[in-house]
Amino acid sequence: MPNLNDFQTAQEFIEANNTATDEDREFFAEMDYFDDYKLAAGLKNSRWSIYGEGIKMGEKSPFEVGTVFRNKCTVWDYDVAGELKSDRWGDVWALCDKLIGASDDHHIFIEGFEKVGNEIHLVTGS
């Protein structure tokens, strides 16, 4: 039986085979940053999938405290919302993680945000 802890990530393969571009290295570093943050913050329902925008979870987001975020899908029949308690990116992710968990759907990748009226709607993928 193979050892499940003995595997090579895509980043490790690319680095080991000298095929990584600077763009690849930047992407993998950012992906590692978000994966490490997710683990440290105990987020279990989502994956951050917004890259190349310089987002750091401890920094201020463009969203004001009290902004209502909504995760809604008419196909899978869910509509959940919550209010942002802090303007930091980490709290934006924590709220999105909570809404995605409450929706019980397979679209767990946070890919963006869309302003709809006074609310922010999650753009998610699978």
- Between CA 47 and CA 36 the distance in angstroms is 11
Average of per-residue pLDDT across 62-88: 96
Give percent of the chain with pLDDT exceeding 90.
Answer: 75
Q: Per-residue pLDDT tens for 46-58?
A: 999 999 999 999 9
- Average pLDDT for the chain: 91
Q: Identify the pLDDT of residue 60.
A: 98
Q: Identify the pLDDT of residue 3.
A: 62
Average of per-residue pLDDT across 80-88: 98
